[in-house]
């Protein structure tokens, strides 16, 4: 399929290590993909679902030890430890290559090597970058064919260039003790062994589009971020776009596909989804910040997705979708997960494939991190700009976490560097998207902690530098928190579609249509400026949501100080100054 010598050399090298029985190039054709689906069904790697109710849909059960990203075994392999920084696992590259290639050795024996040429972003556009993933897993091929733009045309665009990201995925024995996801940013190389779970093996996603791309962005003056992109059409205004960074499973997909409440819809509000997980941001010719979603599919968390919580996501999963680790309803060969509806199947198999009765079982049927891999094109609110190779201009950047206390519903940064400070001190209660305990408060700067491919102190400096380059064109930065709770532990803010009320204020601020209140933590809305019309939200609840508790905030600054200390001299002076100024403002309020 190609004469590109760097591609052929890489494949030969990897072949000599993993030792496949044959090599198949993925050309992107429906015919080839359909044949692969058939083979995977025959080998019981995937299960064909009811094709009348769920056309083109399949189910996959992964090994129960392999259900989430393994952060503790995700490694940045740079010549020095300092380049990887204090928040990443680090291995010296020579050691890493020997170790993981040693594990992968002969692991393709009697298996086919699939070569997947793919593009992150519209093939051939300024934003786009090319990768080639080698894998022994058809499930991985089928997922990559949804999540990225795959095919022969990518090799044509690549031509003779060796500017592409190398990827080797070896399923091996799915042994969790030998599972590693290694990144070599200098070599633009990713090697993943002993997993078959999405985030560990769909190498275009977190590995390339965030870890390797963040490193490229630093060198080339752009940003690769863990951010959704959405467009908001307000009556009488042109559509404006915002990016938002939330840690995994904090409702990013729901926010990206928000449906405004009826009263807003009647007025003419509409939200368009450009992306739900990753943004690549560049300074455009006009000096503004422009963003694309480099992916082509959604790899969304299934539990909790319903016609009520996110009809756009649910509709996106009704055709040509791969479900992973959800319940299989044996009566009609469809799927189910907790939170889909109040009618769990009685005659079913749980995510491990064991008999399961949703009416009587006390166990969950779907894994909390079970997923759907769905084409973006299925999304009813997909932005008409999704395929625009230039991307969309960004008016605001929003950070947010899952915080029961302290963080108000919304506040605005005083400046770009204050916004970088807010992003860098983002923290959230942990969820099931990665292995480890849930419900623990963790720092997660820009929601990038598990995804930054280099020293996070340098990453903060890069953000500061981007702000300087953007100058007066820099978008405003905001922080939101949908998850504040009352004394009983219940969420105060209803979230979901009602979040448009906060977006409305954010856009008013971006367009200089409303004044804000100055507080020690930043600009905040006057209560009258958050429209509660037909929301059922009480005024006193809004006051609680907009409260700034000085002593809780001073306590927060202590935690930030402690977190910052890990970056030592890499912490940019601007962020130290922002922390000092915040403490000063809180003490002198
Ligand atoms: C994801 C994640 O899968 O952030 O998007 O974990
Ligand atoms: Mn994510």
pLDDT in tens, the chain (589 residues): 999 999 999 999 999 999 999 999 999 999 999 999 999 999 999 999 999 999 999 999 999 999 999 999 999 999 999 999 999 999 999 999 999 999 999 999 999 999 999 999 999 999 999 999 999 999 999 999 999 999 999 999 999 999 999 999 999 999 999 999 999 999 999 999 999 999 899 999 999 999 999 999 999 999 999 999 999 999 999 999 999 999 876 889 999 999 999 999 999 999 999 999 999 999 999 999 999 999 999 999 999 999 999 999 999 999 999 999 999 999 999 999 999 999 999 999 999 999 999 999 999 999 999 999 999 999 999 999 999 999 999 999 999 999 999 999 999 999 999 999 999 999 998 755 555 566 678 999 999 999 999 999 999 999 999 999 999 999 999 999 999 999 998 999 999 999 999 999 999 999 999 999 999 999 999 999 999 999 999 999 999 999 999 999 999 999 999 999 999 999 999 999 999 999 999 999 8
For ligand 1, whether the C-beta of 295 sits within 6 Å is no
Largest CA distance in the chain: 71
Same domain, 211 and 243: no
Of 169, 186, 220, the domain-final residue: 220
CB atoms within 10 A of CB 523: 18
Task: Report if residue 367 sits inside a domain.
Answer: no
Could you tell me the distance, in angstroms and rounded to a whole number, from the CA of residue 300 to the centre of ligand 1? Answer: 8
Collapsing DSSP to helix, strand or coil, 361 comes out as coil
Q: 398: part of which helix (H) or strand (E)?
A: strand 392-400
238 and 110 both lie in a single domain:
no
| 115 lies in the same domain as 247 | no
Residues 475 and 520 in one domain: yes
Q: How far apart are CA 360 and CA 20, in angstroms?
A: 46
Does residue 255 fall inside a structural domain? yes
Asked whether residue 318 is assigned to any structural domain, the reply reads: no
C-alpha distance from residue 28 to each of 169, 202, 452 (Å): 19, 16, 30
Q: Using the mean position of ligand 1's atoms as its centre, give its distance from the Cα of residue 199 in Å.
A: 7
In this structure, the answer to whether residues 258 and 159 fall within a common structural domain is: no
What CATH number should be reported for the domain holding residue 388? 3.90.228.20
Residues 244, 176 share a domain: no
Assess if residue 301 is contained within a domain.
no
Same domain, 94 and 242: no
Q: How far is the CA of 238 from the centre of ligand 1 (A)?
A: 31
Closest CA to 182 of 87, 266, 78, 63: 78
DSSP code for 397 = E
Q: Is the CB of 475 under 6 A from ligand 1?
A: no
Residue range of the domain that includes 177: 5-45+70-220
Whether 60 is in a domain gets the answer no
Q: Which atom of ligand 1 is nearest to the CA of 199?
A: 3
- Judge whether 343 lies within some domain: no
Rounded to whole angstroms, the Cα distance separating 275 from 296 reads: 9
In a domain, 55, yes or no: no
CB of 199 closer than 6 A to ligand 1?
Answer: yes
193 and 238, same domain (yes or no): no
Q: What's the total number of domains in the chain?
A: 2
* CATH of residue 11: 3.40.449.10
| Residue minimizing CA distance to atom 1 of ligand 1 | 248
Distance CA 408, CA 404 (A): 10
Atom of ligand 1 nearest to the CA of 447: 4
Residues 516 and 566 in one domain: yes
- Picking from 199, 220, 241, the residue at the C-terminal end of a domain is 220
The residues annotated as belonging to the active site are 250
Beta strand pairing status for 227-233 and 476-480?
Answer: unpaired
Is 277 close to ligand 1, i.e. is its CB under 6 Å away?
yes
Q: Report the residue among 71, 143, 248 best suited for mutation to probe ligand 1: largest number of ligand atoms under 8 A from its CB.
A: 248
130 and 274 assigned to the same domain:
no
For residue 316, is it within any domain? no
CA–CA distance, 71 with 62 (Å, rounded to integer) = 18
Long-range contact list for 326-330, CB < 8 A, 24+ apart?
326/59, 326/302, 326/351, 326/365, 326/366, 326/367, 326/370, 326/372, 327/351, 327/356, 327/358, 327/365, 327/366, 328/47, 328/49, 328/59, 328/353
pTM: 0.97
Same domain as 76, residue 185: yes
**Spatial separation of the C-alpha atoms in residues 148 and 293, rounded to whole Å:** 11
Last residue in a domain, options 220, 252, 267: 220
Query: Quick one: 136 and 39 in the same domain?
Result: yes
């Amino acid at each position: 399929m190609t004469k590109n010598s760097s591609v052929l050399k890489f494949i030969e090298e990897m072949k000599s290590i993993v030792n496949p029985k044959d090599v198949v190039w993925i050309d992107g054709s429906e015919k080839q993909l359909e044949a692969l689906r058939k083979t995977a069904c025959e080998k019981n790697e995937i299960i064909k679902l009811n094709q009348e109710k769920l056309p083109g849909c399949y189910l996959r059960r992964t090994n129960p030890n392999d259900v989430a990203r393994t952060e503790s075994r995700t490694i940045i392999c740079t010549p020095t430890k300092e380049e990887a920084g204090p928040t990443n696992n680090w291995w010296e590259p020579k050691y890493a290559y020997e170790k993981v290639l040693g594990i992968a050795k002969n692991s393709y024996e009697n298996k086919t090597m699939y070569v997947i040429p793919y593009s992150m972003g519209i093939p051939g556009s300024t934003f786009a970058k090319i990768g080639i993933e080698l894998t022994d897993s058809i499930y991985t091929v089928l997922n990559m064919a949804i999540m990225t733009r795959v095919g022969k045309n990518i090799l044509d665009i690549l031509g003779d260039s060796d500017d592409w990201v190398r990827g080797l995925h070896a399923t091996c024995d799915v042994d969790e003790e030998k599972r590693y996801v290694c990144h070599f940013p200098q070599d633009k190389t990713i090697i993943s062994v002993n997993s078959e779970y999405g985030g560990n093996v769909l190498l275009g996603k977190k590995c390339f589009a965030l870890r390797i791309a963040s490193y490229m962005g630093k060198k080339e003056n752009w940003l690769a971020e863990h951010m959704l992109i959405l467009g908001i059409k307000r009556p009488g205004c042109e559509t404006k776009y915002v990016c938002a960074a939330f840690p995994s499973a904090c409702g990013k997909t729901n926010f990206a596909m928000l449906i405004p409440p009826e009263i807003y819809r009647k007025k003419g509000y509409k939200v368009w989804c450009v992306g739900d997980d990753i943004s690549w941001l560049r300074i455009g010719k006009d000096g503004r910040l422009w963003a694309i979603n480099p992916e082509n599919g959604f790899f969304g968390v299934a539990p909790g997705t319903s016609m009520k919580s996110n009809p756009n996501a649910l509709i996106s999963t009704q055709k040509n979708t791969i479900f992973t680790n959800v319940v299989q309803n044996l009566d009609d060969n469809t799927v189910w997960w907790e939170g889909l509806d109040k009618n769990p199947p009685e005659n079913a198999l749980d995510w491990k494939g064991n008999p399961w009765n949703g009416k009587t079982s006390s166990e969950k049927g779907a894994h909390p991190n079970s997923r759907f891999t769905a084409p973006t094109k299925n999304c009813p609110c997909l932005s008409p700009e999704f395929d625009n190779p230039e991307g969309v201009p960004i008016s605001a950047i929003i950070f947010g976490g899952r915080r029961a206390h302290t963080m108000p519903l919304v506040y605005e940064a005083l400046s770009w560097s204050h916004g970088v400070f807010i992003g860098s001190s983002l923290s959230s209660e942990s969820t099931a998207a990665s292995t480890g305990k849930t419900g623990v408060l963790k720092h997660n700067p820009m929601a990038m902690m598990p995804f930054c491919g280099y020293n996070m102190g340098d990453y903060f400096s890069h953000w500061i530098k981007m702000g300087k380059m953007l100058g007066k064109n820099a978008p405003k930065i905001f922080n939101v928190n949908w998850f504040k709770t009352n004394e009983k532990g219940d969420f105060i803010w209803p979230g979901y579609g009602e979040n448009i009320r906060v977006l409305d204020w954010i856009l008013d601020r971006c367009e200089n249509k409303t004044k804000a209140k100055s507080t020690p933590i930043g600009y905040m809305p006057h209560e009258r400026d958050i429209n509660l019309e037909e929301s059922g939200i009480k005024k006193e609840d809004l006051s609680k949501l907009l409260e700034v508790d000085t002593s809780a905030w001073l306590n927060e600054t202590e935690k930030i100080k402690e977190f910052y200390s890990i970056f030592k001299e890499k912490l940019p002076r601007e962020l130290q100054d922002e922390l000092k100024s915040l403490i000063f403002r809180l003490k002198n309020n």
